[in-house]
Structure 1
Amino acid sequence: MQWWCSASGQPWTWAPQYYPGVWLMVAVLAMAFHSLSRRARTMGASRRAYWGGWIAVGLVWQVLDWPLGPLAAGYLASAHAVQFVVLALLAPPLLLLAVRPALVASLASPGATRSVIAALTQPIVAGVLFNVIAVTTHVPVVVDRAMPSQVGAFTVDTLWLIGGLLLWWPILVAVPERPWFSTPVRMLYLFLSTLVHTGIAMVMLVRDFPMYGIYELAPPWSAWSPLEDQHLAGGVMELAGAVVIFGIITVMFFRWSGGVSGDVPPSAPPRD
């Protein structure tokens, strides 16, 4: 029994596989979310945000566990792209929105934790870290070496989730408060921070040869060729990423232009 999904090189089978490491990670995420979200609900977090957070936990579970997890690790680049979109772009904002009031309250007082988070979530730092993670984990040699290893596959999946939380934190949590980081600047930050992953998707779409040996040489899963699967992966990253990013930018724009949200999220502490 494997503890994490990795490329096995074996022909695909629909017999269920069990990954205790995935269950443990999802259980830890669920318990942390349960604790923070309960506190956030008492502080005014909406029911919609609460259930959105649980949907995010469920999505993380689905993309890491069987069958999508092993498909992404060793058979289909398109499944790997779905993992990236969920772990880096979709689940993090849902989780942060659900627990934002609790995070703001926890970090209201100065301390070591607040200082570390403040440093890592400086918009420029967070954007750079997200893009470094996105680029590094899509370099062919990194993918080909990481996916056959349970530790390597676990590292890639975890980095995507951490990178996504860093990317979305300055926009959704705003602790510590940065008065200069207004809503228009946030929209620009989000757009610029995702250009690199869009470029990665375009490369996957236009290349006329398979980029990743791990998927090119994988046991056949369907009638798709490795190149067709790679093009589908690029399309998933491009289209799904655009829907998430520009959907949120659109909401931010109309809320800002309508004077609904202002420059500081409702849960942010008052300025000194």
Structure 2
Amino acid sequence: MHQHHGGFDFWSVISPGALILTILLGVLYFTLIGPWRRKWGYDESPSIWKQRGFVFALAVFYFASGPVSTFSHDSFSAHMMEMALVYMVVPPLILLGLPSWVYRPLWSTPRRAKVFRVLTFPLVTLICFNGFFSLYHLPVVFDAIMSSSILMAASHGFMGFAAFMMWWPITCPVPEKDTLNPVMKLGYIIGDSILITPACALIVFSDVLLYQSFQEAPVAFSFMSALDDQQMGAVVMKAIQEIAYGCVLGYTFYHWVKEHKRMEREEAETIRPRGEKGETPSTMAY
């Protein structure tokens, strides 16, 4: 069965293992975009904002897999917060934070390109992530996963992979592979938001404890009953999801407007020299 914590001490909350992993990932990232980039002859480097976003993603990852994870053994809302942060906040920032040359080897061979094209096809990514998320939160499946460390590691590994694939069509960090325009991305985000809603609604409106794994857990937060904690978990998941989608949508439209203005400026610059000569369409026609 799922093991609960009897109490929380300083080191269990700090989670040294998660902290060390996060630091190592940060060192690897700046080595990749610094010395290794120059060694391998790549010019492209992420903007300072993308670098800050990557660092923020690592901070969120540590917060979720360290301190929050400590409480997630006894609190369903903490468990859902951990999942929401790891699957809704971290992937888009990681994808955008890495330079595009990191991803281009995925298309280095026709077979590899075909596989990756299928894995990132919008309909496939929506069904895989949201379908597994809903399946994961069925009480019988959830309790089975929580009772086995092997099943838990496998399920979270698969869901993490599915989350990155789900975010790819929206945040696609390789410009020539970005096949969705802003309107299509809006539809994708709306579809994603709708597909995840049934699982959250099932938990929010349930008037009984759904998961055996948390029925015998010690009270992690004295100000909430176990049922309130369960309902709060779904609210937390949905709220973080909507905030993440809103931020990515804003980022997408910001760059769309920026690119649109750049194209208008270039078009105006190509027309201006002809206008400066005083020529009119009627005289030019002759």
TM more than 0.5: yes
Q: Does 1:50 align with 2:68?
A: no
Match for residue 246 of structure 1?
246
User: What CA distance in whole angstroms lies between the structure 2 residues aligned with 1:165 and 1:178?
Assistant: 16
Distance 1:92 1:209, change over 3 A: same
Give 1:256 shift.
3.0
Aligned to 1:267: none
CA offset at residue 113 of structure 1?
Answer: 3.5
1:23-68 deviation line (CA, Å, top 9, x unaligned) = 7865775566445544499404201101211221222222122x32
Tell me which moved more, 129-138 or 252-261: 252-261
* Change over 3 Å in CA distance of 1:222–1:261 after alignment to 2: farther
Q: Is the 8 A contact 2:76 2:229 kept in 1?
A: yes
The offset of 1:261, in angstroms, is 8.9
Q: Which residue of 1 aligns with 2:231?
A: 231
Report if aligned partners of 2:100, 2:173 keep a CA contact under 8 Å in 1.
no
Q: For residue 233 of structure 1, report the CA deviation from its aligned partner.
A: 0.8
Structure 2 CA distance for partners of 1:252 and 1:15, relative to 1, 3 Å? closer
After the TM superposition, which of the residue ranges 20-29 and 55-64 deviates more from structure 2?
20-29
Is this contact kept in 2: 1:37–1:102, CA < 8 A? no
Q: Which residue of 1 aligns with 2:8?
A: 13
Q: Distance in 1 between matches of 2:192 and 2:111?
A: 27
Alpha carbons of 1:25 and 1:150: their partners in 2 closer, same or farther (altered >3 Å)?
A: farther
**1:37·1:50 contact (CA, 8 Å) conserved in 2?**
no
1:78-101 per-position Cα deviation (integer Å, ceiling 9, x unaligned)? 111111211111000000001142
What's the RMSD between the two structures over aligned residues? 3.1
The structure-2 alpha-carbon separation of the partners of 1:156 and 1:29, relative to structure 1 and needing over 3 Å to count, comes to farther
CA contact (8 A) 1:89 1:241 kept: yes
Asked if 2 retains the 8 angstrom alpha-carbon contact of 1:53 and 1:94, the reply is yes
- After superposition, the Cα gap between the structure-2 partners of 1:218 and 1:11, relative to the gap in structure 1 and judged at 3 Å, is same
Instruction: List per-residue Cα deviations over 1:211-260 (Å, max 9, x = no partner).
Output: 21212221222222111101211111121211111232233235435644
Do the aligned residues in 1 keep the contact of 2:68 with 2:78 (CA within 8 Å)? yes
Aligned residue in 1 for 2:122 = 123
Q: In structure 2, what residue type is equivalent to 1:13?
A: F
Taking structure 1 as the reference length, what is the TM-score of the superposition?
0.79
Provide the C-alpha distance between the structure 2 equivalents of 1:199 and 1:178, rounded to a whole number of angstroms.
Answer: 32
Give aligned-pair identity as a percent: 21
| Change over 3 Å in CA distance of 1:27–1:179 after alignment to 2 | closer
> Does structure 2 conserve the Cα–Cα contact (< 8 Å) formed by 1:184 and 1:253?
no
Give, in angstroms, the shift of residue 122 of structure 1: 1.2
Kindly tell me: are residues 176 and 247 of structure 1, through their superposed partners in 2, closer, same or farther at Cα, counting changes over 3 Å? closer
Moved more, 121-130 or 150-159: 150-159
Higher mean C-alpha deviation, range 15-24 or range 41-50: 15-24
Q: Could you list the runs of 5+ residues in structure 1 that have no partner in the other structure?
A: 1-5, 263-272
After TM superposition, give the deviation of residue 8 of structure 1 in Å: 1.5
Match of 1:269 in 2: none
Distance 1:23 1:113, change over 3 A: farther
Length-normalised TM-score, structure 2: 0.76
- In structure 2, the partner of 1:270 is none
Of the structure 1 ranges 224-233 and 212-221, higher mean CA displacement relative to structure 2 is found in: 212-221
Structure 2 CA distance for aligned equivalents of residues 80 and 128 of structure 1: 23
Q: Which one has the largest radius of gyration? A: 2
2:129 & 2:165 partners in 1: Cα distance? 7
* Residues 162, 104 of structure 1: alpha-carbon distance in 2 compared, 3 angstrom cutoff: closer
- Look up the match of 1:165: 164
Superposition map of 1:1-272 within 5 A: 7-17=2-12, 26=22, 29-30=25-26, 33-34=29-30, 36-38=32-34, 39=37, 42-65=43-66, 67-72=67-72, 74-107=73-106, 109-173=108-172, 177=176, 181-223=180-222, 224-257=224-257, 259-260=259-260
Cα separation, partners in 2 of 1:140 and 1:25, compared to 1, 3 Å: farther
Of stretches 200-209 and 88-97 in structure 1, the one that deviates more from structure 2 is 200-209
1:166 & 1:261 partners in 2: Cα distance?
30
Unaligned runs of at least 5 residues, structure 2: 263-286
Structure-2 change in CA distance of 1:101 and 1:165 (3 Å): same
